[in-house]
A and B are shown apart, each in its own frame.
Chain A
């Protein structure tokens, strides 16, 4: 008797079953989702992608005026504006990756409830699409950098500038990891979705976004809180980015290594939790 062959077996066991093989064939799908997110976001707006710049610009202005000038938390040696701008755009990349991926299941229940495709496509494309906005902002930042370099405002770009792609990828993976954990948990409990928004903004105050940690005696290297503060995986990443482009601050390789370990752990846990809940999330979402 001829042996019946099967290409797919849908099993009932609730174990984790990551469809990595299917994911490889999904490059076109990821790109199309990225395109969809980008196109849909700016359709029917007059300013279009310029919005990507407007938001961090005003945030930076507010930070510079209130935290930098009035509260005196700004950096020493570099202009407040470029200091805050660099921190803001890197933080925004991370925060957007986290926020957007955390809605994966609840926001896309319509599509996910009807067709199967490797579910990891969703968070990956969300994270990738955040880079479009980031690079617009990044170009904006480079323009100001050039301006400050010409006016010799104290910027000292150095070889660490080459680290920036690694920093960005790390932050995207970290944001995606946390986002996947949250999206897996929110299929059942919507409570967490409430926490995400303000949780992320609280987190930004625990990271060197709105102030310069190196000019604060409580946080600078050697201080009591330094080690605890640096365990926040976003902190060493932002520090390297700023140090490379502006020459402001310092690089601590030990904590940068730890931050990568944290990122990897979060990403793996996120992917596992995501894959576990993707099988039956339609029943509870």
Chain B
């Protein structure tokens, strides 16, 4: 039997919906009293129902998994799937409602930037403080100090207060401390989001090295599938607090990227989708329909028509449309401009055609953006929603892409036109 590093056993974590208790002692007593007297709770907003015992939210629902020693495991899932919650439980920041977690070895957690950095202290002082918070003794830090500073690339600023650091420098220093600890288990949550690409790669190399040479276990949470792919040899996909998939990284990412309910549909309802707060929603996309297709799988080279419907609050504003195409691992492929949309107050529609010969066979999602921009280029966002999901399949026409490699990218740009040519010696 291989030695395990972490065992999560039937773990549930429950949060109460709404406010946690009353916001004040008085509020809580009022609510309790009202319940006792079977009166209406004075602290509830109009239309809100009393929180019964059942109105609770299970962030984690009977979750179980094992992680072997020396493994590098990615945990992926949508927002709210329970990724951060399970990490918090493993780090012992908060306790599970049900179930037990077994750990074998010391844990280093790096959940977000600069955990425990004090802005007024210098880099050097913070290295010691951060190391101690993460469980190192002073002697251990002394031994590793030079190595940490060298890795962090902030050597010349080490005597400067951390509040003068850029966010990138803070991450570098924080990562350097965390990755040089002698802990058996390392937990990383979205830490590489800041920092330049070169440093990201350096971190990933460092983590790989740490996992392979020192046999340390790494748990990595990220929405950046590129880093997950290059770092993890196994992935756990969480969905609604449960394990949706466990296995090879590539398969796991595929599971994560596809939302089953949207497969084989040609009608995408976006009226209830969550919107980015920057959108003012004066023009709101309602749906997208691939009205001539039977499924959302199309052959390479096909041109399919689609119709969008949107609701406008007025007919005075100019309305422009563009689409951002994203690949399966959420990397943007490119942008397509759709021009100006004619509209009146109420529901409007417009039809377009989509040429798939610009896309390498694979799965894509499309974000539709409704916006306006003035001459100076400043943009007013009305709406942005992921409105389309489709698969481009290989066909006779995609023969030129048969030997496609990842590093070609996912967009096939238009052919270049030869305007002149011939032998130079003539």
Across the A-B interface, give the 6 residue pairs with the lowest CB-CB distance, nearest first: A116-B92, A10-B101, A279-B95, A29-B132, A40-B120, A8-B103
Known contacts A7-B103, A12-B98, A116-B107; is-contact A39 B125 (Cβ 8 Å):
yes
Q: Which residues of B contact A4 (CB under 8 A)?
A: 1, 3-4, 7, 104
Interface centre among A8, A279, A281 (most CB of B within 10 A): A8
Within 8 A of B (CB), among A4-33: 4-12, 14, 25, 28-29, 32-33
Known contacts A7-B103, A32-B128, A114-B109; is-contact A12 B95 (Cβ 8 Å):
yes
Q: Which residues of B contact A14 (CB under 8 A)?
A: 95
Closest Cβ–Cβ distance, residue A95 to chain B (whole Å): 24
Contact assessment for B102 and A8 in the assembled complex, using a CB-CB cutoff below 8 Å? yes
Known contacts A7-B103, A9-B101; is-contact A111 B116 (Cβ 8 Å):
yes
A39 to B4, CA, bound (A): 42
> Any chain B CB within 8 A of the CB of A152?
no
- Proximity string of chain A (42-75) to chain B, C-beta cutoff 8 Å, 1 when within and 0 when not: 0110000000000000000000000000000000
Q: Which residues of A contact B120 (CB under 8 A)?
A: 39-40, 43-44
Closest Cβ–Cβ distance, residue A196 to chain B (whole Å): 14
Instruction: From B93, B102, B125, B133, give the contact of A9 (CB < 8 A).
Output: B102
Contact assessment for B100 and A5 in the assembled complex, using a CB-CB cutoff below 8 Å? no
Contact assessment for A116 and B91 in the assembled complex, using a CB-CB cutoff below 8 Å? yes
Contact assessment for A114 and B112 in the assembled complex, using a CB-CB cutoff below 8 Å? yes
> Any chain A CB within 8 A of the CB of B201?
no
Instruction: From A9, A25, A43, A115, give the contact of B137 (CB < 8 A).
Output: A25
> Any chain B CB within 8 A of the CB of A36?
yes
Known contacts A40-B118, A43-B161; is-contact A115 B101 (Cβ 8 Å):
no
* Chain A residue total in the interface (Cβ 8 A): 42
Closest Cβ–Cβ distance, residue B67 to chain A (whole Å): 12
Closest Cβ–Cβ distance, residue A143 to chain B (whole Å): 30
A33 to B138, CA, bound (A): 13
Q: Which residues of B contact A39 (CB under 8 A)?
A: 120-121, 125
Q: Which residues of A contact B94 (CB under 8 A)?
A: 279-283
Instruction: From A189, A280, A283, give the contact of B28 (CB < 8 A).
Output: A189
> Any chain B CB within 8 A of the CB of A188?
yes
Closest Cβ–Cβ distance, residue B266 to chain A (whole Å): 43
Known contacts A39-B121, A116-B109; is-contact A10 B137 (Cβ 8 Å):
no
Q: Among B18-26, B278-286, B288-296, which stretch is in contact with chain A?
A: B18-26
Q: Which residues of B contact A5 (CB under 8 A)?
A: 104
- Proximity string of chain B (205-228) to chain A, C-beta cutoff 8 Å, 1 when within and 0 when not: 000000000000000000000000
Q: Which residues of A contact B3 (CB under 8 A)?
A: 2, 4
> Any chain B CB within 8 A of the CB of A223?
no
A12 to B105, CA, bound (A): 19
> Any chain A CB within 8 A of the CB of B135?
yes
Closest Cβ–Cβ distance, residue A28 to chain B (whole Å): 4
Contact assessment for B137 and A28 in the assembled complex, using a CB-CB cutoff below 8 Å? yes
Q: Which residues of A contact B88 (CB under 8 A)?
A: 113, 282
Instruction: From B93, B102, B105, B128, give the contact of A113 (CB < 8 A).
Output: B93
Contact assessment for A191 and B24 in the assembled complex, using a CB-CB cutoff below 8 Å? yes
Within 8 A of A (CB), among B82-122: 88-107, 109, 111-112, 115-116, 118, 120-121
> Any chain A CB within 8 A of the CB of B257?
no
A sample of 29 cross-chain residue pairs with beta-carbon separation below 8 angstroms, ordered by A number, consists of A1-B1, A2-B1, A2-B3, A5-B104, A6-B102, A7-B106, A8-B107, A9-B103, A11-B100, A12-B100, A28-B137, A28-B138, A32-B128, A35-B125, A39-B121, A40-B118, A43-B161, A111-B116, A112-B93, A114-B111, A114-B115, A115-B115, A115-B134, A116-B92, A116-B93, A189-B22, A189-B25, A282-B94, A284-B20
A10 to B104, CA, bound (A): 11
Residue of A nearest to B178 (CB): A115
Closest Cβ–Cβ distance, residue B99 to chain A (whole Å): 6
Known contacts A9-B100, A14-B95; is-contact A117 B21 (Cβ 8 Å):
no
Instruction: From A10, A12, A188, give the contact of B20 (CB < 8 A).
Output: A188
> Any chain A CB within 8 A of the CB of B203?
no
> Any chain A CB within 8 A of the CB of B129?
yes
> Any chain B CB within 8 A of the CB of A190?
yes
Interface centre among A10, A25, A35, A39 (most CB of B within 10 A): A10
Residue of A nearest to B132 (CB): A29
> Any chain A CB within 8 A of the CB of B65?
no
Contact assessment for A28 and B15 in the assembled complex, using a CB-CB cutoff below 8 Å? no
Closest Cβ–Cβ distance, residue A258 to chain B (whole Å): 30
A10-B90, A112-B93, A188-B21 are known; give 11 further A-B pairs, CB within 8 A: A4-B3, A12-B98, A39-B121, A111-B115, A113-B93, A115-B91, A116-B92, A116-B107, A117-B135, A281-B94, A283-B20
